[in-house]
Amino acid sequence: MRFLCLHGIGTSSRLFKMQTAALRYQLGDEHTFEFVQGTVPWPMAPELSAISSTDDAHYAYFDPEHAPSYLTAFGMLDAFLAAEGPFDGVFAFSQGAGLAIMYMANKKVKKADAEPPFRCAVLFSPTAVGDPFRWFETGEMRRLEELPRGTLIDTPTAMVWGSRDDYATQIPSLCDIFVEKTFWQYIFDGGHELPSPSVEGSIVGTVKIARRAVTQATHRIIA
């Protein structure tokens, strides 16, 4: 499968590639990963202090406090997928995972029977998940907790986060916007970080549910 990879806020594609090397290796070489960098310069994320410095360039996809920035990010993602897609899946962390959720949700609600933008998703510690339906219409910012008209995202999705993540209390409500039979979650013993060999069991647990999402997506393609 070909995955679109979206990094977190205050980091970069280069760092995201480094952080996910072991995880991607365990997923197998039948997959390819294309890393797309944000365009908004941003201060370095605190959790990167061990592998990066403030002198390096760090980015975001949008300013989470500024609604027009969300709209710009949506438009840029639309344009990128039109030019470089299709992608079978999305592989995303933190703000990148938040952007992926908002994008999938918006596409599903706008046209429920249309082909989804991704056949599967592997999402890590999503943050800045705004309600696109509210800010598209009014510019008002609020957190996404449910989809209009009872719609649910049925894209096979694996959601992974750390039990000590500062955003952990916000994630369960996001899980509720996905169809249960096409959704898997894994919580590891960590903070706002990616699974890694230094967090015991986190790679194995993540790969297990990621493969479930990939397998279900593959069966849908064959069918």
Structural domain harbouring 58: 2-222
Q: How confident is the model at residue 27 (pLDDT cuts 50, 70, 90)?
A: very high
Global pTM value: 0.94
Select which of 94, 125, 131, 202 is catalytic: 94
Mean pLDDT taken over the chain: 92
Of 41-55, 71-85, 177-191, the range with the lowest mean pLDDT is 41-55
pLDDT score of 197 more than 90:
yes
Question: Is 165 noted as a catalytic residue in this protein?
Answer: yes
pLDDT score of 172 more than 70:
yes
Q: How confident is the model at residue 221 (pLDDT cuts 50, 70, 90)?
A: low
Select which of 125, 131, 165, 202 is catalytic: 165
Dump pLDDT digits (tens) for 105-140: 999 988 888 899 999 999 999 999 988 887 767 767
Q: Among residues 192, 197, 166, which one has the least CA distance to residue 47?
A: 192
Select which of 7, 58, 192, 202 is catalytic: 192
Number of domains within the chain: 1
Q: Among residues 156, 153, 186, which one has the least CA distance to residue 168?
A: 186
Find the CATH number of the domain harbouring 110.
3.40.50.1820
Q: How confident is the model at residue 223 (pLDDT cuts 50, 70, 90)?
A: very low
Q: Which tokens hold the place of 171?
A: 């994630």
Dump pLDDT digits (tens) for 28-73: 999 999 999 999 999 999 888 888 888 889 999 999 888 788 889 9
Q: Residue 157 in contact with residue 90, Cβ under 8 Å?
A: no
Report the pLDDT value the prediction gives residue 67, as an integer from 0 to 100.
Answer: 79
The distance from CA 110 to its chain's CA centroid, rounded to whole angstroms, is: 20
Mean pLDDT across 190-196: 96
Distance CA 96, CA 60 (A): 8
Report the pLDDT value the prediction gives residue 222, as an integer from 0 to 100.
Answer: 45
